[in-house]
Structure 1
Amino acid sequence: MTDTVLASWRDGTAKTAILDFVTRATRQGPDFVPAGDRIATFDNDGTLWVEQPLPPQFDFVFRHWAEEVKADPSLAGRQPYKALIEKDPSFLHGVATQDPQVIESLLKAFARSWAGSTPAEFDAQVREWLATVKQPKLGVLYQDLVYQPMLELFDLLKANGFRVFVCSGGGRDFMRVFAEETWGINKENIIGSAAEYTYTDGGMVRGEQLLGTLDLGPGKPEHIFARTGRLPVFAGGNADVDIEMLSAARFALLINHDDAEREFAYTAAAEASLAKAGELGWTVVSMKDDWSTLYRNREQ
C-alpha cells in the first residue's frame, strides 16, 4: 500500500494493525473475508467528529427547543425543557456521556417536536444549523470538526471492497442530511435511532414514535443485523455504548480522546470500553500520538 494510504495516521501499532487486517481480510488465506461479508460499522459522535461538550445533534435540538419555549412559555415546566432551562447538571452529564435513559427521553421529545414535518422541512433546518452554528470552544462549524484520519480509513476500506455504515445512537435522519457530502456514504448506509414515518398524500410525514429500539449498546448490533443481515467484520467506536458493536466484530478500533491541545481529553463514559479493549485485544487509537492531523480542511 502506498504512502498516501492513511496519510494522517502516524506510523505505529494502530496504523499497522489496520493495514495488516485489511490485507489479511482481502487475500486468500485463513483470515480471508468474502466480499459480501465485508461490513464495516462506525459510531458517529466522538468517533467521526467532536462530541464535547455535547454531541452536536443536541446543540441543534436544544436551540430548536429554546425557540419552542419562547413561543409557548408553558413548556418550561415540562421535561426535557425544564432540565435545559435549569441547566440540571445530572441531566446534562447524561447527555454528554450518552446515558441511554437520558438519550431515549430526548429522542422521544425530539420525535414529538418534529412530528408532522416532511423530510425536506427537517433537512432544511439541519442544513441551516450546519451552515451557521459554530462549536463553542473551537469556534468553527461542526462539519469542520470531522476527523480526517477516519475519512481516510473509510477510503481504505471502500477501496478494498468493504461496505461502510455509520451506526449511532443519534438520529438517523439528522446524520443522513450530511452523510453523502461529508463522509462519502450513501444515506441508506446510515443506521441510527429514528422516528416512524407515514406515507400520506404522496409524501412522507414524520410520526411521534421511535422506530424500534434505541440504537445504543446491544441496540447497535441488533440494528446492524436488521439492516444488513450480517454482523460487522470491522467496527470503530469510542465509548461504553459501543462495546457490543465492537465485541461483535472481528477487528475492533477504539478511539481514545487523549488530545487536550487539539481537541478534548476525557475518559468519561469510556472507562469500560478501554478496559474491554485491554481484555479482548482491541486496537486503541491515541488521537494525540496516532493522528498527525485531526480535522478535515483545517491547519493544525
Structure 2
Amino acid sequence: MLSTLMNGKRGLALAWMMGLSVLLLVAAPSRVHAEDRTQFLITRLQYPPAAGVADDFRIRTSAALGLGSLADVAERDKAITPLCQSLSSDPSDIVRQSVAAALKRLNRPSAASCVRNRLANEGNAQVKMQLQRTLDALEGSSGSGGGGGGSPASSSGPWTPKFVQNARYYVAISAITNNTGRPIEEVERAILPALRGKIESLGGYQLAPAKEGMDAARATISKRKLKGYYLAISVEKFDYAGGNLRVRVKCAVFDYPGKNLRGEVPAGLTQAGVRPGDHSAEQNLMGMAAERAAELFAQNFQ
C-alpha cells in the first residue's frame, strides 16, 4: 500500500506529511540569568516581531509557553504585561491559546482583567475555552481542573455535531489510541474538543456523530453528496527528555466509509522547562497538537 501512496506528486506530498513534525522549543543557554531569559522570551513573543525575529506563530507560541513556566516570582510578575499585550493583539489562535494557558500557570491575580476583556471579544471557541479556564483559576472558581464547566470538553457526556448546511466533506473521528499512560478520559478531554472545534471552525466539514454506524454514515454521505474521511487519532507516550515536554498526536487519514488509507498527518509540540508529570502542560499541548493536526488534514486532503 505504501508503494501505491508514494506514486507521483501525491506521493511526494504524503511523504512530506509523514515526515512533518512541528517543533515549538525555546530554550535559553543555562548560563543566562533568569532576567535575561525572561527578556529573551518577551522579545520573541512580541507581535509584530522585533527586528531580527521571524514572523512565525511557532516562535511566539514557544515564547508564551516558556514564560508560563518561569519559576522566579519577580520574573513571573514581569511576564504578565507582555502576555496580556499578546493576548489582545496576536492574530494567531494558537498563540492566544498558549498565552491564556501561560497566564493560568503563572496564576497572578493581576492578569484576570486582561483575560476577562479578551474573553468578551474572542471569536475562537478553543481559545475562549482556555480563557474561561484561566479566568476561573485566577478568580478562585472551581473550573480550574481542566474540564471546562459544561463545554464539549467532557467526552463522557452526550455530544452532537452541529449541522453544516453547505458541507462538502464528512468527517468521522475514531476512538483515540492512548499511549500516554494517562487515563483515557483525560486524554479525550484534551483531544476531542480541540479537534472537533478546529474542524468545525474551518467551514465545509460535517462531523459525524460519535459511534455512528456504517449504514448511517453511507446514507448521510450519499444523500448529501459528501466526500467522506475517517481520522484515526493516536497520542504517543510523553517525552520528557532534556527537561522538556514533547507531545505527539498522529492522525491517520482514511477515505470513508471504505477506510482505505490515504496518508498520515503527525503534529508534535515541545515545551521547554517542564517537569515530568506536569498534567496541565500535557493537557495544553495535546489540545494544541490536535488542532494543528486538524489544520494539516484540511490543508492536504480535499
TM-score of the aligned structures, taking structure 2 as reference length: 0.25
